[in-house]
Amino acid sequence: MIDLTPSSTAPTQSSLFFVKGANLVRNLRLLADRTLPGTKATVVAGFVAGLLLSPKLWVSTRLYPLVAIVHGLPSIPYPLDYFCYGILLVLLLAIALATRPRIYIFAFVVFIAMYSLWDQTRWQPWVYQYWLMLIALGCFSGKPEDLGGQRDALNICRLIVGCTYFYSGLQKMNHRFIATGFPWVLNTLHIHFHGLRYLGWAAACIEVTIGLSLLTRRFRKLGLVNGVVMHLFILYSFGPLGRNWNSVVWPWNVVMIALILFLFRNTDVTFADIVWRNRFVYQRFVLVLLGVLPALSFFGLWPSDLSLALYTANLTRADVQVSEQVKQKDLPPFVQRYVKPVQGHLQLSVRDWSLGEMNVPPYAEMQSYMAALSAVCRYAHNSPDVVLTGSEKNTLLGTGKEIRNTCAGALAVDHR
């Protein structure tokens, strides 16, 4: 007699379905497990490197003035300022080591946001990006079975990275970048051909397309390649082999390479997944902050540093003119080193002072330069020989206004 009953060892259709389903879930989990911890470690490492390379930015005991957000906010005295700086590093270490770091993430993002009220210079673009990404990672519960939470948290990080490239490139589409910014970078290659400066338009367009390409499945590999090449060139240009300048952005460029590899290589997420489909309300918040509000900066209605205006050569900038007597008798020796003769005047470069003491550029808004003017006026006992001169950034509404102010104007806005 022929036995027509199914063999106990032969796989049934339903068992094969469940095996394949289990394998799919396991593979998704493994992929997510590699991506999310790698992203978290990269962001934390970048944040720690940035903090360690700019210690004076995070303390009050320095010569470069604090630019407080709230009128009358008292300065945090020594050694409490260094204690706060240490808290930031300790919380980042806790985030790195914890398997479920949500509580440490939110403790850190709240603390650094509150601490930055004492000094707007701390609102550097790299700080802003890392801060937003940590909040995104904090949206994930930390439970291994929460694959949806991991996916949505990572998609918010992808949105942040994509917007960073898009607006950073868009901000460079201006004549100042083409005329001075891009040629300054090209000089690190010892290229001096006049016509090459017009390649700045192409460089800006490429950076825009990196952001758009990374958000799409079809052109994602192109965005990956272009992004890695661009950051390697920046590392060469600004690093020890090039200008050896602004070292705080060196780890940021390394971090960006790691992030685009972690977040966009071997992923099948769509443009809609990244830009809109997300269960976390925070995704809409990021879309407004990085997808919409930076567009207002082209009309002068949103801060440049919060609009990814990175090395655009089109920022509000001002310097302080002083007399020889003010330089020699009133200014501290450390500040004197940033006073140079420019077109027949002695000029204190606020940008060089900020970079020299804190390793970051000044927050590119008028309040920063007025704070620098107020500091110099206090040193010089409100001397009439102290004058702030410069120009505001150009916008789509027209050429930036000329800046000229004296100690009398500084007294009117001085918050001390």
**Cα separations (Å) of 226 from 167, 171, 256, 257, 275?**
16, 18, 12, 10, 21
Question: Is there a contact between 43 and 134 (Cβ–Cβ < 8 Å)?
Answer: yes
pLDDT tens per residue, range 385-406 = 999 999 999 999 999 999 999 9
Lowest mean pLDDT among 17-26, 63-72, 323-332, 345-354: 17-26
Specify the 3-state DSSP secondary structure of 318. Answer: strand
3-state secondary structure 8-54: CCCCCHHHHHHHHHHHHHHHHHHHHHHHHHHHHHHHHHHHHHHHHHC
**β-strand 402-406 against 387-391: which pairing, if any?**
antiparallel
Task: Find out whether 389 and 382 touch, Cβ atoms under 8 Å.
Answer: no
The dihedral through the CA atoms of 401, 407, 409, 410 has a sign that is positive
What mean pLDDT is reported for the chain?
89
Amino acid at the residue 260: I
Beta-bridge partners for 88: none
Residue 218: band (very low, low, confident or very high) from pLDDT cuts 50, 70, 90: very high
Q: What are phi and psi of 61, to 5 degrees?
A: -80, 85
Domain boundaries, the chain: 21-54+124-299, 317-413
Q: How far apart are CA 21 and CA 15, in angstroms?
A: 10
Q: Environment class of residue 24 by beta-carbon count within 10 Å: exposed (0-12), middle (13-18) or buried (19+)?
A: exposed
Instruction: Tokens 């790698």: give the residue.
Output: 38
Residue with tokens 């800046």: 403
| Ranges assigned E (strand) in 273-401 | 317-322, 339-342, 345-348, 387-391
d(CA 77, CA 392): 33
Assign 6 a pLDDT band (cuts: 50, 70, 90): very low
User: 410: pLDDT confidence band, cut at 50, 70 and 90?
Assistant: low
Per-residue model confidence as pLDDT tens digits over 16-30: 555 455 555 544 554
pLDDT of residue 1: 44
Nearest residue to 171 (alpha-carbon basis) of 296, 350, 351, 289? 296
Helix axes 125-138, 13-53, angle to 10 degrees: 150
CA distance 327 to 337: 10
Quick check: 128 and 364 in contact, CB under 8 A? no
Lowest-pLDDT choice from 49-53, 69-73, 77-81: 69-73
What is the tens place of the pLDDT at every residue in 237-296? 998 888 888 999 999 999 999 999 999 998 999 999 999 999 999 999 999 999 999 999
Predicted confidence at residue 197, as pLDDT, reads: 64
Side chain identity at residue 91, one-letter code: L
Mean per-residue pLDDT, 370-387: 95
> Terminal CA-to-CA distance of the chain, rounded, Å?
102
